[in-house]
Copies of this chain bind each other. A is one copy, B any other.
Amino acid sequence: MTAMRSETSQEAPDLLPLLRDALDRGDPVRLAEVLSGYRTQALLEHWYELDAEERERVLSTLPPEAGAELLSNLSAEEQPEVLQGLTPPQVAGVLEELSPDDLADTLQALEAYDREQSEEVRGLLDPGTLAVADALTGYDEEEAGGLMTPEFISVRATMTGAQVMAFLRRAAPDAETIYYLYVVDAEQRLKGVLSLRQLIVSDPEQRVQEMMNPDIVSIHTDTDQEEVARIMADYDLSVLPVLDGDDRLVGIVTVDDVLDVVTEEATEDIHRMGAAPIDIDYARASPWLLFRKRSSWLILLVVSMTLTFNVINHYEDLIVELAILAAFIPLLIGTGGNVGAQVATLVVRALGTRELELRDYFKVFWKELKTGLLLGLAFGAFMTGYVYFFQDEPLVAVALGITMVLISLCANLVGASLPFLFRRFGIDPALTSSPGITTVMDVVGLLIYFRVVIWVLEPLLTGQPATPLP
């Protein structure tokens, strides 16, 4: 492979037909040959087009390093499945090539799936590797402890540049990064950081303490991964040192792990906001799994929405007398839902990126009071004109216009307030969700509608007295 590869590998023939051919022929040598010509990433792009048995055959054919790279890109649910087709020595060979943080995750997944295979594999792993991985197992996967690797390079403040350089040459192959060296004291407490860049431009006889930067941004093992990503982005850092409860340096988090976190967290937020808080790979999920995961939220919304039936049913006499009132229901409550979902989206995202904090609530409330009034007046004017055009009945037109103003204003305030309320009580603001806001505004919108209609149209309603409010 001496050719330069551009981003889409357009120059190389497509992997899938070659792979399929080799798999169909059942020729392991040909399969190995095909696989050796492609990056792991190319293989991953077609991974889900292979069946379970084919995936096992591919993994057992790959050299251990490539197998490890492939494995580390699979989800914790899938890893043990695909390892089933390998012999324990093959599994151990692949696992030895994983970084300690990935190894810890994979071992946990394997143990939960097949305790026997897990025990056998553990017996074949290097005890040192195993100990490092096991030390990481105790941490929460969503916190810095679960993201970090213990493979950092630490040096002492009294070493000279030349000594550090000599040490680096030996330590480099095993470290996750050699571009930041951490200066610790005898108790493993972090005293400073020395970049390789600084080391290279400094006099080799200078001591670390004179070259290092003592002003360090660090995190703790229990720092939430979202916070880790935010600190890294805010301070433009590519590595963060992780301290334990006694402020001793125990690991580092690198930016490539955080890049995945940002994407995962965005997916989580997006799913929650669409009332689909589902932690599965969509492409892999079966209809039955999707039904089970999706229906819990939808059922909650359907049941809540029966309230709309009760409201309308309560005002049935009004509709019997003036059936045209029913025809405006979807337009009115739908607009309320859209206004509320739109503002909730803006506020949820601003809370998520820390552009807004809890203390900003009153500022947001005032802003959205004004914005909601502007939107309400615009839609109210439209509504009045529209109804007048279709009904030629000024009082109905006025009632509908007033309803639209009030619904828009109310939806705007509800949509802006609920995310703050959720955050206040420690619930993810994204769980307010567009469908959730829509459902709330359906009920609230109907109550506003009928109240305004009774108030404005009383002179028109002569047949029966209007039903009093509940």
Q: Which residues of A pack against B, CB within 8 Å?
A: 1-7, 39, 41, 44, 165, 168-169, 172-173, 178-179, 190-191, 196-197, 200-201, 214-220, 223, 227, 229, 231-238, 255-256, 258-260, 262-263, 266-267, 269-271, 273-276, 278, 281-283, 285-288, 290-291, 294-295, 297-299, 301-302, 305-306, 308-309, 312-313, 316, 319-320, 323-324, 326-331, 333-335, 337-339, 341-350, 353, 355-356, 360, 367-368, 370-371, 374-375, 378-379, 382, 386, 390, 434-435, 438-439, 442, 446
**A196 and B218 within 8 A (CB):** no
CB-CB under 8 A for A316 and B308, given A214-B1, A282-B346, A342-B276: no
For the A-B complex with A173-B201, A276-B346, A329-B329 known, give 5 more contacts whose Cβ atoms are closer than 8 Å.
A1-B214, A263-B353, A275-B345, A298-B338, A302-B335
Give the docked Cα–Cα distance between A176 and B290 (Å): 46
| Interchain nearest-CB distance for A360 vs B (Å) | 7
The chain B residue with its CB closest to the CB of A326 is B326
**A1 and B215 within 8 A (CB):** yes
- Across the interface, which residues of B come within 8 angstroms of A346, CB to CB? 271, 274, 276, 278, 282
19 contacts across the A-B interface (CB closer than 8 A): A4-B190, A5-B215, A6-B220, A172-B200, A238-B238, A255-B256, A266-B270, A270-B273, A273-B274, A276-B346, A283-B360, A301-B335, A306-B386, A308-B330, A319-B326, A323-B326, A330-B330, A341-B435, A438-B438
**B266 and A262 within 8 A (CB):** yes
- Chain A interface, DSSP helix/strand/loop, else mixed: helix
**A326 and B312 within 8 A (CB):** yes
| Interchain nearest-CB distance for A22 vs B (Å) | 22
**A7 and B256 within 8 A (CB):** no
**A302 and B270 within 8 A (CB):** no
The chain B residue with its CB closest to the CB of A281 is B355
**A4 and B371 within 8 A (CB):** no
**B331 and A309 within 8 A (CB):** yes
| Interchain nearest-CB distance for A369 vs B (Å) | 8
Copy tally for this chain in the complex stands at 2
**A201 and B169 within 8 A (CB):** yes
**B2 and A214 within 8 A (CB):** yes
**B255 and A7 within 8 A (CB):** no
- Across the interface, which residues of B come within 8 angstroms of A324, CB to CB? 313, 316
Taking each of A3, A286, A305, which has the highest tally of chain B beta carbons within 10 Å of its own beta carbon?
A: A305
**A345 and B270 within 8 A (CB):** yes
Give the docked Cα–Cα distance between A274 and B348 (Å): 10
The chain B residue with its CB closest to the CB of A289 is B371
CB-CB under 8 A for A335 and B201, given A259-B255, A278-B346, A327-B309: no
- Across the interface, which residues of B come within 8 angstroms of A367, CB to CB? 285-287, 290
- Across the interface, which residues of B come within 8 angstroms of A288, CB to CB? 374
- Across the interface, which residues of B come within 8 angstroms of A178, CB to CB? 196-197, 200
Give the docked Cα–Cα distance between A336 and B450 (Å): 24
**B331 and A302 within 8 A (CB):** yes
- Across the interface, which residues of B come within 8 angstroms of A306, CB to CB? 331, 386
